[in-house]
Amino acid sequence: MRFPRGSGSLRVQIETALAAEGQPLRWAITSVEPAAASTPDVVLTIEAVVLA
């Protein structure tokens, strides 16, 4: 899953995004793309195991 990092708790953002896919068993941040002029947000790549 890829999503832009917003303000606030990172853990809450990740768990909320994963909850849309199912119940998360475990997850890891596998990539962080820094903000650029064309994209003001940091983009995170998350790999997870979820129960659907």
At 46 the pLDDT is 97
pLDDT (0 to 100) of residue 10: 94
pTM score over 0.85? no
State the Cα torsion 32-28-48-50 to the nearest 10°.
-140
For the chain, the domains span 2-51
Q: Write down the pLDDT at residue 21.
A: 92
Q: Give residue-wise pLDDT tens across range 1-52.
A: 998 998 999 999 999 999 999 999 999 999 999 988 877 889 999 999 999 8
